[in-house]
Structure 1
Amino acid sequence: MKNGWIGIALALLVAAPRPGAAEPRSFDAGSLIIPMDLAYQDHGLLQAYGLVFQLLRQGVRVYWAIEPTKTWHAAPCDTPGDECDWDCAEEGSGVKCPYPTASPDFFAAARVLWDGDGGAGPGTAIASHGYRGGPFVIAAADREAALAIVEAWNDRDRWDANPWARRTVFQVVSVHEATAAFTAPVAKEMVAAPTIAVFSDGNENIATSYLRAAGIPQSNGAEFPAARCGADDCGAGTANPDMLTVPSVAGDMGTCDAPNADHRNGQLFRDGVPAYCQIMSMHWDVRDRETVLCNGRACPATPAACAGQPITYHGHEVVAEVRAFLDYPVHFFAECQAVNAYENTVPNAAWPFLDDEGRMGHFLTTVGTPPDCSAGGACPVADLGCTAGGCDGGARDCCIPTDVKEMGAGFFIAAQPASDTIQVLHPEVPYNQLDGAFGTEGGSEPAYDLATAMGVTYVNDRNVTFLTGPDGPGVQDVWMTGYKDGVCDILLFKDDGDCTNGKVSYLGGHAYDTAVPVSANPSTQGTRLFLNALFEADCVTTTGQPALGVTLTGPTRLEPSAAEGDYVVGYSNTGLGTALDGVLTLTLPAGVTVTDAGGGTVAGSDVRFDIGSIGTTEIAGAPAGGSRTVGLAFGGTGTYVLSARLEFVVGVTPMTAGPALLGVGVGTDPPPTDGGTDGDGGGGGDG
């Protein structure tokens, strides 16, 4: 390095503080409100989630307002003698909703900008409405940017100019504008549109029907397909890159005599960090989970007979890859048969499985112990059958599940609870935002019982049940969500970095409806729960974002006779979340030339370095930081300002950390700089 003073510049993109509870926040007049109650969003409810996705994708921050003390009124609000304290639409009207609702999240005066229900037309003044069901709010400062996106979303005549808004299923989303300042409890501050992987398990069209109904696209901008995947039209390199097959999720599994125990080498990962924010599996069959294939066929009887052959299918490895994925602040959703396919998995060390403990399911439940058979071979519940010598290496007669889908429980399969008996628990949790009656669904796994006859509990006795039958929790549970391995309580908002694990959601029932209006189609509420889970995930909110810093160091005072120096551009991540597609850029002012690009690419006044994936300090994977050195020469006496920034992607939202600014003086003192500015949390949009 040449002679001179050494300087350092630092710029940060810092994740917002993690809230300890829903925090009251003041919003100015002009703020936008996306209603999520059926009084104003009966038809556009599902597509409201698609609108939120596009707002986030294009850099508009969205606040999810949920009152932490709200209650659920189980009877229709207009039930004589059991009326709700709040009115259905206009507060003070005395008109009650003809369906059950939760109490309001906040009250506000507003005017209608867009109406999707054919009732209160644009311009209609609302003196006061108790917004329910977890409405979304955009601050007045982002009004103009948000309105451009809203108008393109709701007006098909604008789709040619805004092709990202084009979709097969179309509903207008109601949007209101606050006419006076109001205060709302913010439960989630959302900043990144999620990347979503759908597991092609044979019933993937159920998940894609939910996403198409909401208008949420794949990472390449294309709609999710309506049909099941064919032989070669899903996965990397196809038009449907986010539809993942079993082999693509499992990754390279090695050979029979040299199995690969890396559980982070499938397409859920890139460079060892999550490639997605979410993965969905709807109806993966337990028999497929219990399948292992060697060279595309059933494996030989012994490893020796299989030596050198590749392992081409391994159901337990899919579970292992999902478990490793959940080491990060991401989300996994399973429905119907897929619930037991994942949750009831227990490692099997025998050939051909050769499992390690990384292939354990049981994300939310403990592993059960089969009880002894009673006299005469009786078992305590009908789900169990007495098997002579079935336990402890043949030494004990025990009661084992008779249904293969219940092996390894975990969960037993329960009967479908009647819709009018459903208990709605914890309406303050973002996952459980509802307005109106919930309709249950049938199918092979409509609900779940904890296998208490085998001593099963929810891990760490966590409260994870949000919808259940009349005798639950633990009996006929329909909707459950918790952190992997029960490391934290899902009912509490994180206020520190201890809860780094991802979250798991299970929904009973074969396939929910997507028909609107929701008030006349209560089964559509199941699709709403699916969409709630997409946006509750920490990888969407400020909680699970990376906190990236950029530094720029090097000599700040040079002599004209030796006006050269080495400058180091560095980056580091101190947050819980990871980032993809990182590009580190050093921008040079006029009169500065590159003597050594240090492996970077020179393009005009920029020196660019492709960083790729950026990991965290908490978990091994891609590096959480690094640096690059560039040799520079300065053209003559004077002052110069160097600038460094880091561009990256979270989900499908582009973001920037920096710039970090460093002043250099040649033959004079360096110019003052403030060290740079805070990073821009949202990248440039195309809305």
Structure 2
Amino acid sequence: MRRAWVLSSGWWHRAAAGVRGVRSREPRSFGTPPRCLLVTLLLGGCLSLNPAFDGDGGVTSGAESTTTTASVSTGAAAPSESASGTPGSASDSGTPTEGSTVGVSDTGNDTDPGPGCDDGVQNGGELGVDCGGPCGPTCEDGQDCVVDGDCLSQFCLDGTCTPDEFAAGSLIIPMDTDYQDLGMLEAYGVVYALLSAGVPVHWIIAPDKPYGGVDVVASAIDLQSGQPIDAHGYRGGPFVVSAADAVDALAVIEGWQQQNPATAVHEVSASFMAPVSRRLVAAPTIAMFADGNQDIARKYMMAAKIPDSTGDVTWPDSSPDMLDPLEVAGPTDSEHRDGALFDADGDPVYCQLMSMHWGVSDAEALPEVVAEVREFLGEPTHFFAECQAVSAFENLASHGLFLTTQGLLTGGGSNEHEFHGLDRPFAQFDGAFESVGGSEPAYKLPAGGTYKADGLVMITEQGSPVGVNDVWTTGTLDGMCAREDPGCTIGKVSYLGGHEYDVATPISDNPSSQGTRLFLNSLFEAPCSAASGTPDLTLSKSAPAHVAAPQITFTIDYANVGIATAHAAVLRDVLPGGSSFVAATQGGQLVGDTVTWSLGNLGPGENGSVSVTVDLGGAGVYENVAHLDYMAGLNAFGLDSNVTMTSYP
């Protein structure tokens, strides 16, 4: 059984702030401005709306009730990613080449983030010059901070922005060719296995690093050989498991290495500081589009040994996660959330969808597929397209144009490249990069066409400005949020040129396998894999402090105040000892001594209230607590309510 995680203290507690409120469920359509965009327009930045756990267990004393109106929360939606640009801006914080802003339009994303945030003066509640407070997570290491959310590193230690510290005994999964040349693709598989087992993983990426740049320097010992590693400069975005989680991680890693000995893992021998880009807490749910070329995605996934939701690493066409065009389109072309990407309430049931070579003519014949994917991207999800699938989705004027104003044209192939935004999770690789051929090896903007935001393109032809021969591109739907904004609630879109990349290793001898690395990077960019993209649930219970008659009615309130859907939610209430069941509202069923409510999927803003009434067996104090189980990605999470205490007589 997977372990349940309740992220309510430590870093998670410090990172979140605010007042919690429960929103009623409202019908959603793409035409309604998303929460991310609304906050951007009002405050000049797409900030996290997730408040902190109150930390007191939700229990107060009082004459009428033993409970407080505040809810116990998982707190799982605290920001965890480093924001790489100014809030409210779509600018790239990497090192673009000259001319890299060619073909970029202003779509409202360059909203001034607030008074004083770009004036070179510390004012207006800022924690440093133009950083923190109303300016959002923009303070660099060494600058003052109050909460983690003030810092680019997302880590505020003793009032100073600081990279995260990892103690001796932490584990590093190297992602450079020095130590992971043979096991590079399988390394993603072990990360997926760790997340599936409930072990958090930290993705270490140095801000503003150059091509081939070092992310962190650390000393360690290779787990398999015992070879000491002295002050190695880890590159390519290594993954780190903290010492506190090492015991659980080793149980997974040892089994993995028995089957996959090429996968290297190092045990840290001395503490080190590292810039954490993403804190991964859940294995993403993945859907593969059966577009006739699913063998390409299947090959990539099998090389990494990442399974479907049933645990099948072969990804057969019979997999429940293999969706054909009609399944994605759904039964109607008027309701764009009735396909297999959504549940009956219109909430997404996957974090990630990929299409490898869907035809342009196929999209024109069945435009509802593109319409459903556009709605899917209105949520914190991710869509990956490769080769002709890029044109099929992007160029469909009626529902496409996810990243551009007028679509994309096919560019020319080249193996001389320039790299941008190398501090982005999407752009992590080490060594030479080689493109592959196909009908669409690269993309260019048509005359008059633009990208909807700046900083989207990560790999271009050498010497060509952005918008001429672009190989690897990613951004949020319609450019609605700043690049890598941890509070964004809008889906991400990624486009890769080239028909089919290789999966051969060692990577240093097979640079055409790097495209597969980019594909695998995007799996862990699926927002639901990070703490900031998991559901944030509240659960509170109330009951009278005293009763004169031998009967109590308990009321249980629940809500999802996060940005992602909680799947398969089940609420349980064990009857107090000495009591007997009378009735439950909302279809609650008694099995043994436990009343159970199957709540289904709880989308953002969904909430409800149930109650259970019991007869009391005699005088005494009756304690009671409710429990809520749910899934985020493929992981099980759990949450207890506050404890109520009722005396009789």
**TM bracket, shorter-chain basis:** 0.7 to 0.9
- Following superposition, the deviation at residue 573 of structure 1 comes to 1.2
- In the comparison of the two structures, how many residue pairs are matched? 504
Which of the numbers 515, 521, 530 marks the counterpart of 1:541?
A: 530
Query: Which residue number corresponds to residue 610 of structure 2?
Result: 628
TM-score (norm 2): 0.76
Unaligned runs of 5+ residues in structure 2 are 1-62, 82-136, 138-151, 155-162
Which of the numbers 431, 434, 441 marks the counterpart of 1:436?
A: 431
Written as runs of structure 1 = structure 2, the 5 A alignment for 1:269-668 is 269-270=342-343, 271-291=345-365, 315-347=366-398, 360-367=399-406, 410-417=407-414, 419=415, 421-451=416-446, 453=447, 455-459=448-452, 461-470=453-462, 471-490=464-483, 492-494=484-486, 497=487, 499-559=488-548, 562-598=549-585, 599-617=587-605, 624-667=606-649
Which whole-Å deviations, capped at 9, do the CAs of 1:480-527 have from their partners, x for residues lacking one? 00000001232x433xx4x21100000000000011111111011000
Distance 1:42 1:594 in 2: 62
CA contact (8 A) 2:554 2:611 kept: yes
Query: Which residue number corresponds to residue 393 of structure 1?
Result: none
CA contact (8 A) 2:381 2:528 kept: yes
What secondary structure, in the 3-state scheme, does the structure 2 residue paired with 1:273 have?
Answer: coil
What secondary structure, in the 3-state scheme, does the structure 2 residue paired with 1:147 have?
Answer: helix
Distance 2:77 2:270 in 1: 26
CA contact (8 A) 1:588 1:641 kept: no
Distance 1:605 1:30 in 2: 43
Letter in 2 for 1:22: S
What secondary structure, in the 3-state scheme, does the structure 2 residue paired with 1:525 have?
Answer: helix
- Following superposition, the deviation at residue 15 of structure 1 comes to 2.3
- Following superposition, the deviation at residue 16 of structure 1 comes to 4.6
Which of the numbers 266, 279, 286 marks the counterpart of 1:176?
A: 266
Query: Which residue number corresponds to residue 244 of structure 2?
Result: 141
Query: Which residue number corresponds to residue 5 of structure 1?
Result: 64
Which whole-Å deviations, capped at 9, do the CAs of 1:250-282 have from their partners, x for residues lacking one? 1111xxxxxx41100000001311110000000
Query: Which residue number corresponds to residue 228 of structure 2?
Result: 125
CA contact (8 A) 2:440 2:498 kept: yes
What secondary structure, in the 3-state scheme, does the structure 2 residue paired with 1:513 have?
Answer: coil
Which of the numbers 179, 198, 218 marks the counterpart of 1:59?
A: 198
Matched, 1:106 2:88: no
Letter in 1 for 2:642: A
Large movers: runs of 4+ above 3 Å:
none
Distance 1:184 1:529 in 2: 22
- Following superposition, the deviation at residue 225 of structure 1 comes to 3.1
Distance 2:292 2:217 in 1: 45
Distance 1:524 1:576 in 2: 34
Distance change (3 Å), C-alpha of 1:362 and 1:286: same
What secondary structure, in the 3-state scheme, does the structure 2 residue paired with 1:144 have?
Answer: helix
Distance change (3 Å), C-alpha of 1:16 and 1:276: closer
Distance 1:180 1:557 in 2: 56
Across the aligned residues of Structure 1 and Structure 2, the Cα RMSD in angstroms comes to: 1.4
Query: Which residue number corresponds to residue 280 of structure 2?
Result: 190
CA contact (8 A) 2:560 2:566 kept: no
CA contact (8 A) 1:28 1:182 kept: yes
Which whole-Å deviations, capped at 9, do the CAs of 1:549-572 have from their partners, x for residues lacking one? 10111212123xx12121111111
Distance 2:641 2:610 in 1: 16
Letter in 2 for 1:43: L
CA contact (8 A) 1:330 1:539 kept: yes
Which whole-Å deviations, capped at 9, do the CAs of 1:230-266 have from their partners, x for residues lacking one? xxxx3xxxxx10000111001111xxxxxx4110000
Query: Which residue number corresponds to residue 184 of structure 2?
Result: 45
Written as runs of structure 1 = structure 2, the 5 A alignment for 1:4-43 is 5-8=64-67, 10-18=71-79, 19=81, 20=137, 21-23=152-154, 24-43=163-182
Distance 2:193 2:622 in 1: 40
Distance 1:289 1:171 in 2: 43
Which whole-Å deviations, capped at 9, do the CAs of 1:120-157 have from their partners, x for residues lacking one? xx21111211111111111111111000010111113x
What secondary structure, in the 3-state scheme, does the structure 1 residue paired with 2:502 have?
Answer: coil
Distance 2:641 2:200 in 1: 21
Instruction: Calculate percent identity across the aligned residue pairs.
Output: 46
Query: Which residue number corresponds to residue 253 of structure 2?
Result: 150
CA contact (8 A) 2:307 2:315 kept: no
CA contact (8 A) 2:208 2:421 kept: no
CA contact (8 A) 2:77 2:533 kept: no
Query: Which residue number corresponds to residue 215 of structure 1?
Result: 305
What secondary structure, in the 3-state scheme, does the structure 1 residue paired with 2:466 have?
Answer: coil
Bigger fraction of residues in strand = 1
- Following superposition, the deviation at residue 472 of structure 1 comes to 2.9
CA contact (8 A) 1:22 1:67 kept: no
Distance 1:43 1:659 in 2: 48
Distance 1:16 1:183 in 2: 24
TM-score (norm 1): 0.72
Distance 1:464 1:131 in 2: 26
